[in-house]
A and B are shown apart, each in its own frame.
Chain A
Amino acid sequence: MLNCSIGENSMKRLRVMGLALAASFCAAQADAEELSGTLRKIKETGVINIGYRDSSIPFSYLDDNQKPIGFAIDICLKIVDAVKKELKLDKLTVEFNPVTSSTRIPLLANGTIDLECGSTTNNPERLKQVAFTNTHFLTATRFISKKSSKLSSIEDLKGKSVASTSGTTNIRQLTEANAARNLGINIIPAKEHAESFLMVETDRAVAAVLDDILLASFAAGSKDPDAYVISTDAFSKPEPYGIMLRKDDPAFKKVADDATSALYRSAEGQKLYDRWFMQKIPPKGLNLNVPIGAELKKAFAKPTDSPDPDFYKSM
């Protein structure tokens, strides 16, 4: 009788264990087949589409051979490697698509690109439409002008013509400041960052409002870098840049988050930063000489995708 009861219990335990094993085996099979969203698309087509920018130096821009290069491009290529490993693919073709500030979100939503690698600001409003992976830079909105125009504060822009790129947080902040402070600025929207800067270079606008790191790159790469000055007055707090991906796609986001997190925390991440910000970059051999800021250093040590500028201050 005792033998039977012991036998029954162990039988039951064996049965439960057996069922659990079978269930986990089935789940593993199901995981491999139930890829969803972007990962499924990449597995089915064998292609990943990356959106790049024309002139967001040094994040994503075209070199002399019209090939996209940059800090964000290199980060994206690391994400591509991680995707390749995750999906166990022998071959993963990377296709590059040009995007502008105003086409990047619609093109991400309609599937033309899977990752947007550039200088896109991560903020709560955009999070309603897209998702971002771990922050790769922090920058505030400032304006650049010719030294001869003698403009130092935002109030000095009253009644003048100011350029900015359409579809950016910069033009939005400029529009809101214009309305709130009643500045009567004539806002000239440009298609790309290079065009915004060109407006100032050709005296069509007295100032261009963009992220300060981009302004620094344009001034340094221009024909006469000393003629320009970037304002200390800012339109915003330093806001985070992130690489964009589609919303409601947790599997793909996890791969991207893990890849970027591993990259930023490692020595390779620091080397990547130095390569684009502390050394000569193509095509003209410019050295931006922007040492890594304190807040960005902390954001690399503890990677985060927070859209809140105050979060980085308090880190």
Chain B
Amino acid sequence: MNYHWNWRVFWEPAPSGTGTYLDMLLSGLVLTIETALCAWIIALAFGAVIGVLRTLPSKTASLVGFAYVEFFRNMPLLVQLFLWYFVLPELLPRASGLWLKQLPGAPFYTAAIGIGLFMSARVAEQTRAGISSLPRGQKLAATALGLTTAQTYRYVLLPMAFRIILPPLTSEFLSTIKNTSVALTIGLIELTAEARAMQEFSFQVFEAFTAATVLYLLINIVVVIVMRFVERGVAVPGYITGK
């Protein structure tokens, strides 16, 4: 194997003039985390609403929720990002389209919204599963007490549902972090893209990708540990999620 190893490449200056190759990778890591967090907030917001819609007694609400989830689940994430990034500006009136295309940081906003909406469909499914898994008695008791539907959801159903779905939500968040790598195709220079750029400038393929792999593993471990603390923190004693 005539590949020339060079682990010291991380301390060599990068041609972008902003520091070493290691700095390049770390700036990609920061962008990955920022994009993932923005996308996750969007996913939670939309996902919770749609999930609730699917459990409402109203037929139309149920149908709207179903259509939303099917729409975002049946297209690959890459195709969805392309639609947002390439197709949307062309369909808008010329001035708005141009503004969108030349927006600095367009890849970031597109990626956050695109990934956020893609994940929101999955969050919606989890929320629906969480609410459906609650004993029927809860809703009936709330009605008996005179609570409106909104109050039932707000004070009785949703708090417990969210605690139940915290573990699957953790893995959805990890999925969101992994999905940010897909955004390299629309020009978001996140961790995988920086590793690729490092490979192209320095020709050290394996060193660059090993570093990116290690960083992703680190993110994973940190998120899992943090979520474990969160789960313990919000657990209700005596209930299935509590001790």
Contacts and interface: CB of A to CB of B under 8 A. Distances in A.
Q: Is there a direct interface between A and B, measured as CB atoms under 8 Å apart in the complex?
A: yes
Given A129-B4, A186-B104, A202-B101, A176 B17 contact: yes
Contacts of A176: 15, 17
Interface in B32-46: none
Nearest to A160: B102
Interface in A153-192: 161, 166-167, 172, 175-176, 178-180, 186, 188-189, 191
A126 B200 CA distance: 11
A189 B187 contact: yes
Nearest to B203: A129
B2 A109 contact: yes
Contacts of A161: 102, 104
Contact of B2 (A180, A188, A191, A248): A248
Interface in A175-222: 175-176, 178-180, 186, 188-189, 191, 202-204
A78 interface: no
B142 interface: no
Interface in B81-114: 90, 98, 101-102, 104
B17 A180 contact: yes
Interface in B143-165: none
B201 interface: yes
Contacts of B58: none
A223 to B, nearest CB: 15
A203 B187 contact: no
Nearest to A101: B200
B205 interface: yes
Contacts of B102: 161, 203-204
A61 B44 CA distance: 46
Contacts of B3: 109
B18 A102 contact: no
B199 interface: yes
A167 B101 contact: no
Given A161-B102, A186-B104, A188-B187, A166 B15 contact: no
A179 B15 contact: yes
Contacts of B78: none
B82 to A, nearest CB: 12
Contacts of A40: none
Contacts of A179: 15-18
B195 to A, nearest CB: 12
B196 interface: yes
A50 interface: no
Interface residues of B, number: 23
A5 B236 CA distance: 114
B197 interface: yes
A262 B8 CA distance: 43
Contacts of A189: 187, 189, 193, 197
B203 A175 contact: no
Given A178-B16, A179-B15, A179-B17, A166 B101 contact: no
A128 interface: yes
Interface string B14-52: 011110000000000000000000000000000000000
A21 B107 CA distance: 72
A105 interface: yes
A166 B189 CA distance: 12
A19 B2 CA distance: 38
A180 B185 CA distance: 27
Contact of B16 (A102, A175, A186): A175
Contacts of B2: 109, 246-248
Contacts of B4: 128-129
B232 to A, nearest CB: 43
B19 to A, nearest CB: 10
A106 interface: yes
Interface of A: 101-102, 105-106, 109, 126, 128-129, 161, 166-167, 172, 175-176, 178-180, 186, 188-189, 191, 202-204, 246-248
Interface of B: 2-4, 15-18, 90, 98, 101-102, 104, 185, 187, 189, 193, 196-197, 199-201, 203, 205
5 contacts: A129-B203, A175-B15, A176-B15, A202-B101, A203-B101
Given A166-B200, A176-B17, 6 more contacts: A102-B196, A102-B199, A126-B203, A128-B4, A175-B15, A204-B102
